[in-house]
Amino acid sequence: MQQKVEGYPLKEYTTKIRQIAKEALENREVTAIIGWRKKDFWWQSPVVFLEDPADVQQLVWDPFTIYSPVKFLLDWQESCAAKVGIFVKGCDSRGINRLLQDKRLERERVAVYGVPCGGKADAEKIRASFPSKEIKSVTLIGEELVLAVGEREERVKAEAYLLDKCLSCRHPNPVVYDKLVWEEVSPRQYADESRFARVQAVESLVTEERFAYWQRQFDRCIRCFACRNTCPACNCRVCIFDQAEPRWLGKANDPADTLNYHIIRAFHVAGRCFECGECERICPAGVPLQELNRKLIKGINDAYGDYEAGLDPTDVPPLGTYRGEDPAGFDES
Amino acid sequence: MKRIGVFICWCGSNIAATVDIDRVIAAAQKMSGVVYTDQNKYTCSEIGQAMIKDAIKEYRLDRVVIGSCSPRMHENTFRKTVESAGLNPYYLEIANIREQCSWVHKDKEAGTAKAISLIRTAVAKAAMNEALFAAEMPVTRRALVIGGGIAGIQAALDIADTGFEVDLVEREPSIGGRMAQLDKTFPTLDCSACILTPKMVDVAQHEKIKLITYAEVDKVEGYLGNFTVTIRSKARSVDLQKCIGCGECIAKCPSKVASEFEEGLVSRRAIYTPFPQAVPNKPAIDRAHCRFFTAGKCKVCQKVCPADAIDYEMADRLLTNQYGAIVVATGFDTHKLNNYGEYAYGKHPDVLTSLEFERLLNASGPTGGKILRPSDGKEPKTVAFIQCVGSRDKAKGNPYCAKICCMYTAKHAILLSEKVPGSKAFVFYIDVRTAGKDYEEFYTRAYEECGASYIKGNVSKVFPDGDKLLVRSVDVLSGALVELSVDMVVLAASVDARADAKELAQKLAVTVNAHKFFTEAHPKLRPVDTQTAGIFLAGMCQGPKDIPETVAQASAAAVKVAAIFSKQSLLGNPTVAEVEPKLCSGDLSCMAVCPYGAISEQVVEERRGREMVPRKIAQVNAALCQGCGACTVACRPGAINLKGFTNQQILAEVDAICL
Amino acid sequence: MPVTNEGFEPLIVAFCCNWCSYAGADLAGVSRMSYSSNVRIIRVPCSSRVNPSFIIRAFQRGADGVLVAGCHPGDCHYHSGNFFTRRRLTVLKQMMEYLGIEPERFQVRWISGSEGAKFAMVMNSVAEEIKRLGPNRKLRDVR
């Protein structure tokens, strides 16, 4: 499916975002804006918080406005009584619904500006093909990535350089918003096929091979908790893994305890994870967390019917309900 | 610093034979927090309990661990012991080293090691036990009795006589149950209707009893003292206020249906009263077989009714009522004989079940009380009675004994000899069971005075032989093959639980056994209680039994109900869930899984900077909470915890048990 | 390289619900049935009280097998507890198997209060299976 948007005029989108932010701040609809800004390097477009309408010039929209700003809403709500405006991509917007469903966000206190997204770029993949020091800018136009490398312009097929999580994105358009910043885009062509591909690859291994595989992955885990910190489904006021009494999770970097952490976190987000992929993307050790979280989604879909989290904040997550005729993953005789 | 006392029971030799008590004591002495240990042969005895009480006082114990039989046996006993020594009863912890250790492991080494592990686990849990207090709950002083047979009738009368209100729900149009179908009852040969109908009338006239017939229980919610029950009062199509019971409608109804009361031997009408002494003695329309309801025709009953009592528009009504206790008295069914083709039942009209034979005996039955062969209407001179059809049969029937058949067959043999002079009864039996007062004498009368022939042997086949029936068996006492030509064969069909017993059990949250009989709380000592507080059992629905046992059980259930109602308020369950506000995010995942609606939202005020800010969190109503703990797992941070089985306690148990 | 399991006595932790499976265990005892002494029971009010964290903790602390036993669906003393257990532990079991833990190590069974024989049989068969698998090394804490 071709993207409906003909070209991807970066400047126009950035302008649009700045315009919306400025108006909202000037009209005092919101007292602050959460968006993205450009930092020093070409791959850095981190989250920014603005309160002064004059500062909206900092806002950008480019292939690196990846970070989900949603978790910041939790802190915002706790510290400030006023309303905040937030720009969210398709994946981010499901995080909004996640917070709403978990009653961690009051809908009236947030103005949601939905930004349909054609995908974000993977800086690692770009660096593998182009000398990083020479890259001046990267722009996504339609299906192409346009790089300004030194004096020349390079045009490549975007798909090869997008983040893995974007390749299997099923909801590029925001599912909740007060304002849609521009026209919706078409869903990614092969999203459904690739969604459980890696899960199926692991499923094809036998028990010992599976354990060896996961042992290699989790051995790298340094228990930084970045995955938990970035995940909107992990929104408890006091996380179970931070508690000392009882001590559910030990402090030592014991392989069994690391497995304990990942098993329990995956269980806690089972049926609530909306596949934004931030956990895997943000992991500094490259642990393939989506392979784990998606396995649970697949299992729940197979057993209890297809369910997508973060689409409807009024529905009931699969582990919060049951049917008398539910199948079981064990011998019920 | 905890002061835990550990007491190991020998339970005679029940524990001591396969667990080395001294080694367990030695190990307990080394466990963290244990300051005192002792052992006793029978800890539940007065001496044993006194030993515990004395130790608590002398050694200032603040926690007690007992290694003994299952907590399901004596937890309440020992809780009272501990309480009488001045400790909160929930400072007690029991390690099950009998049912789950000494009785199931033959090797003393293994048994001792496991017992030590279980004690260690109980000590770890006890160290975290906290004082718990039950909340007071109000009681609705109205009982519900489900089933209007003799069991339900007796229970209702006894409860009502203690002064409390009772609703008696019966699914048939009349109360009376199986006893109404009987002719005479053993061992006195009392006329069944004569002893039953006065009680039926008492029920109808008792000011404390509300009779709800032609109704079933739809839904049950709540718990002891506070059950909310929805009763479906089925549409009779007859206005009971207007109906004068003249019976004109029945006489003129053109539709015929096999009569359930007459066991299918004759038919009844679509509008019918089940039997002449029915209470209420007013008809109901069986809509499934009524020409108006199935085909829109007829309406004769309405035309002939002098009181204008027929109401085709009547609809089922749902009544929702509050009850403090429930008695289940839903009775039994006769075993279906599909698997017993060898006895020609269903193939030959003169092969009957005992209940069908009972209807022949009854004066208001299909033959006016004469024993006549259905085939030709002649009196049978020889009748073979086959025992245990479908009972004591592991292969294709019920493995259990139906209890009543030996006695009612003796009764049938006696009545046959009285009603058909010169007749001869042949009873084919495996054993004759007469374990009741005057029962043995009654059976003796059958063969000594009434000429019944008792042949010990299973019948292999019954088949038609001209206008008679050939019964082939063996007499195991003499070893001879037996072949008898008889006029009639009566099969003592087994007793089955009701087909929908399990469905009702699930509504009530009580259990049934493999044969769908309701499970009592303890087979010996608590035969009328169920595991669910406030729900009691009476009669055949709990297991095969005769009328005196049924009546006794019904009265027992009534006393249990009265005991509940006689209290000012009830103590609820103290092991309830509780929310720790600091940990609660307010997502209410707990509320979604609570079966009792015990969780709601509450607003708390918290300091944020210099302000007090409101925040919504979860809250548990301790009076509604039944302590299942489903909420504790739905809660990801463990903000909601279960008293008596806290997260900390279970984690400590896991740690200890894996040592 | 096959690890010899001669002389290996597994430790099996069984979480049993008070109303059904714990009662079934008591009945097995009352009926003097024999089963493996490797099984240690932790009593919970309902199988829905069993937090996956307890199960993982048991493995970490040295259990070689973990069993959760509850009432048959529809028969829960608290009406719906075991329906949640069924979903939760199906998800947990799928996950553990996906991570390469042998399926026999963590099992869930429905055992009623009148199924004493079934209780003994299940305990014996679980103990057999775990004995063959050998000690749990994958999820065990480094001591």
A219 occurs within a structural domain:
yes
Q: Assign domain B353-494 one CATH number from 3.50.50.60, 3.40.190.10, 3.40.50.300, 3.40.718.10.
A: 3.50.50.60
Name which of A6-15, A89-98, B136-145 the model is least confident about: A6-15
Of the three residues A115, A148, A180, the one that is the final residue of a domain is A180
Interchain contact, A260 vs C57, CB within 8 Å: yes
pLDDT band at residue B607, thresholds of 50, 70 and 90?
Answer: confident
Residue C3 has pLDDT above 70, yes or no: no
Number of domains in chain C: 1
Element (H, E) at A35: strand A32-36
In this structure, which amino acid lies at residue A232?
P
State the fold for domain B142-233+325-331+498-565. Answer: FAD/NAD(P)-binding domain (3.50.50)
- Three-state DSSP state, A69: coil
| CB distance B380 to B488 below 8 Å | yes
Count of CB pairs separated by less than 8 Å, A with B: 48
**What is the per-residue pLDDT for C5?**
63
Of the three residues A125, A153, A180, the one that is the final residue of a domain is A180
> End-to-end alpha-carbon separation of chain A, Å?
48
State the fold for domain B577-643. Answer: Alpha-Beta Plaits (3.30.70)
Residue (of B256, B279, B263, B262) closest to B172 by Cα position: B279
**What is the per-residue pLDDT for A61?**
93
Q: Put the strands of the sheet holding B480-486 in their side by side order.
A: B461-465, B468-475, B480-486
Residue (of B39, B44, B47, B50) closest to B16 by Cα position: B39
Q: How many CA atoms lie within 13 A of A238 on its CB side?
A: 16
B142-146 and B325-328 strand pairing: parallel
Q: Structure tokens of A271? A: 């049926």
Q: Structure tokens of B545? A: 């039994």
Residue A8 has pLDDT above 70, yes or no: no
| Most B-contacting residue of C40, C53, C106, C139 (CB-CB within 10 A), to test interface | C40
Mean per-residue pLDDT for B419-448?
A: 96
Interchain contact, B637 vs A102, CB within 8 Å: no
Name the residue facing A321 among B592, B608, B636 (closest C-beta). Answer: B592
Give the tens place of pLDDT for each residue, B258-288.
999 999 999 999 999 999 999 999 999 999 9
C-chain CB neighbours of B98 within 8 Å are 29
Residue (of B367, B545, B384, B566) closest to B458 by Cα position: B384
Distance of CA B528 to the CA centre of its chain: 7
Mean per-residue pLDDT for B505-510?
A: 91
For A256, the domain range is 196-320
A-chain CB neighbours of C55 within 8 Å are none
Number of H helices, E strands in chain B: 17, 34
Beta carbons within 8 Å of B115's beta carbon, 6+ residues apart: B15, B19, B24, B67, B95, B97, B101, B102
Q: Structure tokens of C31? A: 């009926």
Residues 450..479 of B with a Cβ closer than 8 Å to C: which? none
- A131 and A218 part of one domain: no
Residue (of A239, A285, A233) closest to A100 by Cα position: A233
> End-to-end alpha-carbon separation of chain C, Å?
24
Mean per-residue pLDDT for B179-207?
A: 96
- The Cα C40–Cα C62 span in angstroms is 13
Q: Confirm or reject contact between C20 and chain B (CB < 8 A).
A: yes
Q: Put the strands of the sheet holding B63-68 in their side by side order.
A: B34-40, B4-9, B63-68, B92-96
C83 occurs within a structural domain:
yes
- The Cα B254–Cα B400 span in angstroms is 43
Q: Rounded to two decimals, what is the model's pTM?
A: 0.85
Q: Structure tokens of B430? A: 């495996």
- Three-state DSSP state, B291: helix
A189 occurs within a structural domain:
no
Distance of CA A77 to the CA centre of its chain: 20
- Three-state DSSP state, B318: strand
Nearest-5° Cα angle at A140, A136 to A146:
50
Min Cα distance A51 → chain C (Å) is 43
The rounded mean pLDDT for chain B is 95
- Residue B612, class by beta-carbon neighbours within 10 Å (0-12 exposed, 13-18 middle, 19+ buried)? exposed
State which residue of chain C sits closest to A317, comparing Cα positions.
C87
- A173 and A28 part of one domain: yes
Residues 90..109 of C with a Cβ closer than 8 Å to B: which? none
Q: At what angle do helices B647-657 and B108-126 cross, to 10 degrees?
A: 150
Mean per-residue pLDDT for A296-317?
A: 96
- A202 and A316 part of one domain: yes
C118 occurs within a structural domain:
yes
**What is the per-residue pLDDT for B368?**
94
Name the residue facing C93 among A264, A304, A329 (closest C-beta). Answer: A329
Name the residue facing B72 among C23, C62, C77 (closest C-beta). Answer: C23
**CATH for C49:** 3.40.50.960
Q: What torsion, rounded to 10 degrees, do the Cα atoms B485, B486, B492, B498 define?
A: 110
Give the tens place of pLDDT for each residue, A72-94.
999 887 777 789 999 999 999 99
Nearest-5° Cα angle at A232, A226 to A234:
70
**What is the per-residue pLDDT for A141?**
82
- A68 and A109 part of one domain: yes
C4 occurs within a structural domain:
no
For residue B604, count other CB atoms closer than 10 A to its CB.
16
- A173 and A203 part of one domain: no
Residue (of B173, B444, B140) closest to B285 by Cα position: B173
- Three-state DSSP state, B371: coil
Residue A2 has pLDDT above 60, yes or no: no
The DSSP line for B458-520 is: ---EEEEETTEEEEEEEETTTTEEEEEEESEEEEEE-EEE-TTHHHHHHHHT--B-TTSPBPP
A308 occurs within a structural domain:
yes
pLDDT band at residue A9, thresholds of 50, 70 and 90?
Answer: low
C-chain CB neighbours of B522 within 8 Å are none
- A246 and A292 part of one domain: yes
C40 occurs within a structural domain:
yes
Q: What CATH code is assigned to B4-126?
A: 3.40.50
Mean per-residue pLDDT for A204-231?
A: 97
pLDDT band at residue B54, thresholds of 50, 70 and 90?
Answer: very high
Mean per-residue pLDDT for C37-48?
A: 97
B424-429 and B453-456 strand pairing: parallel
Q: How many CA atoms lie within 13 A of B635 on its CB side?
A: 31
Domain boundaries, chain B: 4-126, 142-233+325-331+498-565, 248-304, 353-494, 577-643
| Most C-contacting residue of A209, A241, A261, A263 (CB-CB within 10 A), to test interface | A263
Number of domains in chain A: 2
A203 occurs within a structural domain:
yes
Q: Confirm or reject contact between C23 and chain B (CB < 8 A).
A: yes
For residue B107, count other CB atoms closer than 10 A to its CB.
12
Percent of chain C exceeding pLDDT 90 equals 91
| CB distance A165 to A158 below 8 Å | no
- A100 and A51 part of one domain: yes
Neighbours of chain C (3+ CB pairs under 8 A): A, B
pLDDT band at residue B624, thresholds of 50, 70 and 90?
Answer: confident
C33 occurs within a structural domain:
yes
pLDDT band at residue B107, thresholds of 50, 70 and 90?
Answer: very high
**B353-494 has the same fold as B142-233+325-331+498-565:** yes
Q: What torsion, rounded to 10 degrees, do the Cα atoms B523, B525, B528, B534 define?
A: -110
A1 occurs within a structural domain:
no
Give the tens place of pLDDT for each residue, A179-195.
999 999 988 877 788 89
Residue B568 has pLDDT above 90, yes or no: no
Residue A7 has pLDDT above 50, yes or no: no
Nearest-5° Cα angle at B455, B449 to B461:
130
Min Cα distance A203 → chain B (Å) is 28
Residues 275..294 of A with a Cβ closer than 8 Å to C: which? 292
Give the tens place of pLDDT for each residue, C82-113.
999 999 999 999 999 999 999 999 999 999 99
Element (H, E) at A153: strand A152-157
- Three-state DSSP state, B34: strand
Q: How many CA atoms lie within 13 A of C84 on its CB side?
A: 29
Give the tens place of pLDDT for each residue, B139-154.
999 999 999 999 999 9
Name the residue facing A246 among B586, B588, B651 (closest C-beta). Answer: B651
Tracing tokens 């399991």 back to the chain, one arrives at C5
- The Cα B561–Cα B251 span in angstroms is 43
> End-to-end alpha-carbon separation of chain B, Å?
22
- The Cα B471–Cα B428 span in angstroms is 10
Distance of CA B587 to the CA centre of its chain: 40
Residue B353 has pLDDT above 60, yes or no: yes
**What is the per-residue pLDDT for A11?**
72
**What is the per-residue pLDDT for A10?**
59
Residue B619's DSSP bridge partners are B600
Residue (of B150, B170, B156) closest to B217 by Cα position: B170
Within A204-282, where are the H helices?
207-219, 226-230, 255-269, 278-282
C140 occurs within a structural domain:
no
Nearest-5° Cα angle at B343, B342 to B345:
115
Residue (of B343, B271, B346, B376) closest to B314 by Cα position: B271
Give the tens place of pLDDT for each residue, B282-319.
999 999 999 999 999 999 999 999 999 999 999 999 99
